[in-house]
Amino acid sequence: MSEKPISRFPVPRLDTLPQDIRNRIGAVQEKAGFVPNVFLALAHRPDEFRAFFAYHDALMDKRGGGLSPAEREMIVVATSSANQCHYCVVAHGAILRVRAKNPILADQVAINYRKADITPRQRAMLDFALKVTADSAAVEEADFARLEPHGFSQEDVWDIAAISAFFGMSNRMANVTNMRPNDEFYAMGRAPE
Amino acid sequence: MSEKPISRFPVPRLDTLPQDIRNRIGAVQEKAGFVPNVFLALAHRPDEFRAFFAYHDALMDKRGGGLSPAEREMIVVATSSANQCHYCVVAHGAILRVRAKNPILADQVAINYRKADITPRQRAMLDFALKVTADSAAVEEADFARLEPHGFSQEDVWDIAAISAFFGMSNRMANVTNMRPNDEFYAMGRAPE
Amino acid sequence: MSEKPISRFPVPRLDTLPQDIRNRIGAVQEKAGFVPNVFLALAHRPDEFRAFFAYHDALMDKRGGGLSPAEREMIVVATSSANQCHYCVVAHGAILRVRAKNPILADQVAINYRKADITPRQRAMLDFALKVTADSAAVEEADFARLEPHGFSQEDVWDIAAISAFFGMSNRMANVTNMRPNDEFYAMGRAPE
Amino acid sequence: MSEKPISRFPVPRLDTLPQDIRNRIGAVQEKAGFVPNVFLALAHRPDEFRAFFAYHDALMDKRGGGLSPAEREMIVVATSSANQCHYCVVAHGAILRVRAKNPILADQVAINYRKADITPRQRAMLDFALKVTADSAAVEEADFARLEPHGFSQEDVWDIAAISAFFGMSNRMANVTNMRPNDEFYAMGRAPE
Amino acid sequence: MSEKPISRFPVPRLDTLPQDIRNRIGAVQEKAGFVPNVFLALAHRPDEFRAFFAYHDALMDKRGGGLSPAEREMIVVATSSANQCHYCVVAHGAILRVRAKNPILADQVAINYRKADITPRQRAMLDFALKVTADSAAVEEADFARLEPHGFSQEDVWDIAAISAFFGMSNRMANVTNMRPNDEFYAMGRAPE
Amino acid sequence: MSEKPISRFPVPRLDTLPQDIRNRIGAVQEKAGFVPNVFLALAHRPDEFRAFFAYHDALMDKRGGGLSPAEREMIVVATSSANQCHYCVVAHGAILRVRAKNPILADQVAINYRKADITPRQRAMLDFALKVTADSAAVEEADFARLEPHGFSQEDVWDIAAISAFFGMSNRMANVTNMRPNDEFYAMGRAPE
């Protein structure tokens, strides 16, 4: 198990953190079996931590709507790979494997989503997500029109854009802080069901 | 006064919004004399609205630290211009003019910050902000080292990165939603003191 | 009023200049109320000055043809923004505001012309101008074909290309010489009619 | 086990192949426990197959010299990721895990080698490899000079360049043929020793 | 001898042109033995023709100063190649061969000036010219400083920038008009002295 | 005749080389009248030399199929120019002139193949080759579909891709080794038939 620093900025000790943040961290630890490093690295700034995870949950824990949990993770993996974000590709690659119950999909999406085993609908979703990521100033009606035949609602389109935008922020914070993914993530979900 | 749509997504009527959001909007309207369109456009998603502005306030209303309010706005204008974000360049350009009490600085920073009337310290700050914006995966110790001689603390560096990252998200949302800046912003702060 | 240098190269005193150049500068001063700095900065090289403004006038003072004076300025502002030219965006932004009698159009075109309040015809014109600016080697018949439905004549197309090419040169000279726009330009034309 | 096509071009049946190619494929099958798809996809062109693997072996099976087998694979993974080559990142990621006896290094190198757990010497090696991959026309003496302090011999430098160049070719063939990595590769070498 | 069109725009008959333009064309024909197509293609617009060649002559026929005639042509060939300008690379490649009395230099400079048989001083000159061509907004004092050790005067620097800027315009016009180089240029100056 | 080094790596003396390599070099010398430097530079590594030229011959000396020898060389020249490879543009430009019996085609293809005197079929071929060269990860069925109307067989498509990929490797080796083209190549094939 590595003992490398998980952030180039100070990482607070758990017992020094405000209670609401400790609760949040406790909850995820219980569920995952370990504390994902993003919770510790961002806890350096409690107010930003609260806003970050409130935003995250609004986008990623949303139920209903046209995007499945696995599809939401596909957007995270594809856009985080475009931003070369170590933490997000590794951690959300693991979550994607688990949610999609597919041990190879996350690597496919990370390397080149155009060659991944995905549906044409998912391909259109990721094309849009990548354009938001790489050149949002050029997004226009033609891009929205390409989503329509696949049955995405207006709310789905907002979700694709917002997930891409939010993780674009997250990728930048992880890249600047040298946020290190937990070793546990690498192997998670790799055994076929 | 234009009557063009302010978002390509639905914009809620004020009286349909949750009370906390109406309060927030009322407060800004009282201060600015009008409701900046970002509040209305993002109110389409109340949970995301709350997280967005909590994050925004943690970064932009922070007092103390090494970055002045005007410098925070310079980061917003320079990075939003790199992302060609209509809303953010216009609205935060106005705020920068007001905070810096300088009628020409915002246009300078938006067009080419390298030629703006800024200090070497501000130049280093914006160089870092732009690297976070354009190529965060390549940020490394040499980049941090270039900030040090200018007296930026570790917390200041986090601030520069976090403001760049947050507005990178904001720029993408504004670009995708075709968020339209209020006409009021264009002329604000242009009369020399 | 700033007293910063207007060029990193020597700027001649007016009374040392050849009479034809003094006449030209006198005429613009009478019309504008001040001497735009480009006239002083380029007067360092009288022969180049004469050729530059002869070329400029042939393209920008042309009357007749399918492009209005405001549309010619829109091309200048959009392409100069792509080249991040401080002088040209500020000075021609002012002229565009005046010629279009529109206080917000120039900022819109400079930040992201795709989101500006322009007609589909103007959008096609600027798409072509930007392709000439950014990748002229790839201009081909398909690009000309996209202009045709909008009624641009062959001479109009030459004008769009030539204005883009000429200001591409002008942008490079202004960028290398650190040509500083007069402070007067920033506020010009911002009061609504 | 997937039954998706392994190439968009015809894939020959093993029993139709020339004996030397069957021998080569038999040998790798014995060693790996399965036939990596690159052998089947390229066997469509026996002469190119022979040249390809002769070249491959000269570079990758070389013993002696300053580059370890794991370092050779690191070059393959980093450059193949820059070229977004599905087959090569997955297959050589597996080989890198095995050769380095490290279950997480390959993903680190693929996502952003600058953040990987590698030595400064390996970092310099990969910087050079990536420059050969992305902008070989700009390689100059300053690039060679950056390798010297790390003790790379002239022959090592040739090896770094040649491996990068060879896999640049391989990446392009795999991308154009839609070469599909065997499912076996994804999990290989992931269990910690 | 090819009979392909020399421009996608109308090309005037010589006898319809104003006398001063016919004189200019007559002079070049006498000197070169043929009429370079740029004179015919640009004569479509007499005022622009006059300004173009006045500018050209001020920069390229200048005598004295630190740049030799061959060096001026090297700038044209290197920057025109970056802009992939058919006419300018072929025509000025020929002139460079003649002026440098060197049958291979022009091809070297066009393909990759970093590998050409040029002096370190010429290399610095072309590095600056290429930066003006590709990213003039980022030109700053460090770029000027790199020219100084090679003895370039301030006027030489202006010349390098102005030649790069002028031919950037010329390249765009040639690319948009499909300006075709005369067949005579290809072989000119190729026989070693 | 220049006496500049032909490689920045050691170049073996002919009489020290294995017999098969000497034979191969003797054959090309007899045919061309001189030894192209690529044979000497790559002979530094005999095993790689053998694989390189076996691959080369399988692709370039192939007879039959839909691509003529001149078309194969057009692919080499266009892709090598995109990679700014001094050796390959000069040497294969010469071969293209000879094979196409056309003294100007090679320069046209090298500078901007979109403006060259080629057929629509050859244009489609080079568009595909350039995409393989510059962005092979994005090659997809739409790209293959654009080749079909021109009658390219599946085997022709493989050839276009493989030639582009192989010379992408060759370009990188030539760029890194500073491989110098023989002076003889520059003038070869320039006299019209």
Mean pLDDT of chain D: 96
The nearest alpha carbon in chain B to C179 belongs to B115
- How many CB pairs (< 8 A) connect C and F? 5
Q: How far apart are CA F176 and CA F57, in angstroms?
A: 23
Q: How far apart are CA D127 and CA B23, in angstroms?
A: 53
CB F2: neighbour CB atoms within 10 A?
10
Query: From the CA of F119, how many Å to the nearest CA of chain D?
Result: 24
Can you give the pLDDT at residue D1?
44
Q: Say which DSSP state B18 is in.
A: -
CB-CB neighbors (< 8 A) of F144 in chain D? 8
Contact in structure between C6 and C41 (CB atoms under 8 Å): yes
The nearest alpha carbon in chain C to E165 belongs to C169
Q: Per the CB < 8 Å rule, is A117 touching D4?
A: yes
D and C make contact (3+ CB pairs below 8 Å)? no
Reported as a single tens digit per residue, the pLDDT across F27-49 is 999 999 999 999 999 999 999 99
Mean pLDDT of chain C: 96
Q: Nearest 5°: phi and psi at B100?
A: -85, -5
3-state secondary structure of C101: coil
In F8-147, the DSSP E strands lie at: none
CB-CB neighbors (< 8 A) of A138 in chain C? 114
- The closest CB to that of F187, out of E112, E183, E190, belongs to E190
Residues sharing a CB contact under 8 Å with residue F95, sequence separation 6 or more, in sequence order: F73, F76, F189
The answer to whether residue D157 scores a pLDDT higher than 90 is yes
Best of E81, E114, E130, E131 to disrupt the D interface by mutation (most D CBs within 10 Å)? E114
Reported as a single tens digit per residue, the pLDDT across F65-85 is 899 999 999 999 999 999 999
0.90 surpassed by complex ipTM: yes
Q: Mutual orientation of helices A46-60 and A69-82 as an angle, nearest 10°? A: 130
Can you give the pLDDT at residue E127?
98
3-state secondary structure of E51: helix
Q: b or e along E86-112 (b: 16 or more beta carbons within 10 Å of the residue's beta carbon)? A: bbbbbbbbbbbbbbbebbbbbbbbbbb
Query: From the CA of F146, how many Å to the nearest CA of chain A?
Result: 18
Q: Nearest 5°: phi and psi at F106?
A: -65, -40
**How many H helices and E strands in chain B?**
10, 0
Query: From the CA of A105, how many Å to the nearest CA of chain D?
Result: 10
Query: From the CA of C113, how many Å to the nearest CA of chain A?
Result: 10
In B40-160, the DSSP E strands lie at: none
CB-CB neighbors (< 8 A) of B138 in chain D? 114
Distances (CA, A) of E152 to E67, E68, E125, E144: 8, 12, 9, 10
Query: From the CA of F138, how many Å to the nearest CA of chain D?
Result: 8
Q: Among E22, C4, D48, which Cα is nearest to F57's?
A: D48
Q: How far apart are CA F193 and CA B59, in angstroms?
A: 73
Can you give the pLDDT at residue A64?
85
| Interface residues of chain B, partner chain C, Cβ below 8 Å | 2, 4, 81, 84-86, 89-90, 103-104, 107-108, 110-112, 115, 117, 175, 178, 183, 186-187, 190-191
By CB neighbour count within 10 A (0-12 exposed, 13-18 middle, 19+ buried), where does C120 fall? Answer: exposed
CB-CB neighbors (< 8 A) of E140 in chain B? 114
CB-CB neighbors (< 8 A) of A48 in chain B? 55, 58-59, 162
How many Å separate Cα D139 from the centre of its chain? 22
> Which one is predicted more confidently, B36 or A63?
B36
- The closest CB to that of D183, out of A4, A104, A115, belongs to A104
CB-CB neighbors (< 8 A) of A136 in chain C? none
Alpha helical stretches, state H, A19-140? 19-32, 37-42, 46-60, 69-82, 86-100, 105-112, 120-135
Query: From the CA of C56, how many Å to the nearest CA of chain A?
Result: 31
Residues sharing a CB contact under 8 Å with residue C187, sequence separation 6 or more, in sequence order: B103, B190, B191
3-state helix, strand, coil in chain C (%, to 5): 70, 0, 30
Considering only CA atoms, give the Rg of chain E: 17
Q: How far apart are CA D190 and CA D106, in angstroms?
A: 10
Residues sharing a CB contact under 8 Å with residue F46, sequence separation 6 or more, in sequence order: F17, F18, F21
Q: Per the CB < 8 Å rule, is E58 touching C52?
A: no
Ordered DSSP codes for D45-105: SHHHHHHHHHHHHHHHS--SSS--HHHHHHHHHHHHHHTT-HHHHHHHHHHHHHHHT-SSH
* Chains adjacent to D (≥3 CB pairs closer than 8 angstroms): A, B, E, F
Q: How far apart are CA E76 and CA E88, in angstroms?
A: 8
Query: From the CA of D26, how many Å to the nearest CA of chain B?
Result: 42
In sign, the C-alpha dihedral spanning F68, F74, F77, F78 is: negative
Contact in structure between D122 and D147 (CB atoms under 8 Å): no
Q: Per the CB < 8 Å rule, is B140 touching D112?
A: no
- How many CB pairs (< 8 A) connect A and D? 56
Contact in structure between C59 and E48 (CB atoms under 8 Å): yes
Query: From the CA of A137, how many Å to the nearest CA of chain C?
Result: 7
The nearest alpha carbon in chain B to E138 belongs to B114
pLDDT band at B1 (very low <50, low <70, confident <90, very high): very low
3-state secondary structure of D187: helix
pLDDT mean over D177-193 = 91
> pTM (2 decimals)?
0.97
Mean pLDDT of chain A: 96
- The closest CB to that of B111, out of C81, C104, C112, belongs to C81
Give average pLDDT by consecutive 10-residue segment, chain E, 193 residues. Answer: 85 96 97 97 98 98 92 98 98 98 98 98 98 98 97 98 98 98 96 67
Distances (CA, A) of B78 to A179, B105, B139, B161: 25, 11, 18, 13
Can you give the pLDDT at residue E191?
83
Can you give the pLDDT at residue C2?
52
| Interface residues of chain A, partner chain B, Cβ below 8 Å | 8-10, 44-45, 47-48, 50-52, 54-55, 58-59, 83-85, 132-133, 136-137, 139, 144, 154, 158, 161-162, 164-166, 168-173, 175-177
| Interface residues of chain E, partner chain D, Cβ below 8 Å | 112, 114-115
Alpha helical stretches, state H, E61-103? 69-82, 86-100
Q: How far apart are CA F137 and CA D55, in angstroms?
A: 23
- The closest CB to that of C103, out of B81, B112, B187, belongs to B187
Q: Mutual orientation of helices E19-32 and E46-60 as an angle, nearest 10°? A: 40
Q: Please give the single-letter amino acid code of residue C1.
A: M
Distances (CA, A) of C16 to A42, A83, C13, C40, C140: 64, 56, 6, 12, 47
Residues sharing a CB contact under 8 Å with residue C154, sequence separation 6 or more, in sequence order: E9, E10
| Interface residues of chain D, partner chain F, Cβ below 8 Å | 8-10, 44-45, 47-48, 50-52, 54-55, 58-59, 83-85, 132-133, 136-137, 139, 144, 154, 158, 161-162, 164-166, 168-173, 175-177
Query: From the CA of E84, how many Å to the nearest CA of chain B?
Result: 27
Q: Say which DSSP state E136 is in.
A: G
Contact in structure between B84 and C130 (CB atoms under 8 Å): no
Q: Per the CB < 8 Å rule, is C187 touching B186?
A: no
CB-CB neighbors (< 8 A) of A85 in chain D? 111-112
The answer to whether residue B193 scores a pLDDT higher than 70 is no
3-state secondary structure of E44: coil
Residues sharing a CB contact under 8 Å with residue F65, sequence separation 6 or more, in sequence order: F153, F155, F156, F159
The answer to whether residue D2 scores a pLDDT higher than 80 is no
The answer to whether residue F149 scores a pLDDT higher than 60 is yes
Can you give the pLDDT at residue E192?
64
Can you give the pLDDT at residue A76?
98
Q: Which residue ranges of chain C lie beneath pLDDT 50?
A: 1
The nearest alpha carbon in chain F to E88 belongs to F111
Q: Among A101, A85, A73, which Cα is nearest to A160's?
A: A73
Q: Among F116, F30, F119, which Cα is nearest to F77's?
A: F116
Query: From the CA of B136, how many Å to the nearest CA of chain D?
Result: 11
3-state secondary structure of E85: coil
Q: Say which DSSP state A39 is in.
A: H
The answer to whether residue D45 scores a pLDDT higher than 70 is yes
Distances (CA, A) of B104 to B92, C119, F73: 13, 29, 56
Q: How far apart are CA F135 and CA F137, in angstroms?
A: 5
Query: From the CA of A193, how many Å to the nearest CA of chain B?
Result: 34
Q: How far apart are CA F3 and CA B94, in angstroms?
A: 64
Q: Among F115, F124, F121, F60, which Cα is nearest to F92's?
A: F60
Can you give the pLDDT at residue A63?
84
Q: Per the CB < 8 Å rule, is B183 touching C104?
A: yes
- The closest CB to that of D107, out of A85, A90, A191, belongs to A90
Q: Please give the single-letter amino acid code of residue B132.
A: V
Q: How far apart are CA F126 and CA F170, in angstroms?
A: 18
Tokens matching residue B128? 């870092």
Q: Per the CB < 8 Å rule, is D169 touching F168?
A: yes
Best of D114, D118, D127, D130 to disrupt the B interface by mutation (most B CBs within 10 Å)? D114
- How many CB pairs (< 8 A) connect C and E? 111
Contact in structure between A157 and A126 (CB atoms under 8 Å): no
Residues sharing a CB contact under 8 Å with residue F32, sequence separation 6 or more, in sequence order: F184
Tokens 């069901």 belong to A193
3-state secondary structure of B80: helix
Q: How far apart are CA E70 and CA D132, in angstroms?
A: 32
* Percentage, residues of chain A above pLDDT 90: 95
- Return the H-helix or E-strand segment holding E27: helix E19-32
Tokens 């040509």 belong to C179
| Interface residues of chain F, partner chain D, Cβ below 8 Å | 8-10, 44-45, 47-48, 50-52, 54-55, 58-59, 83-85, 132-133, 136-137, 139, 144, 154, 158, 161-162, 164-166, 168-173, 175-177
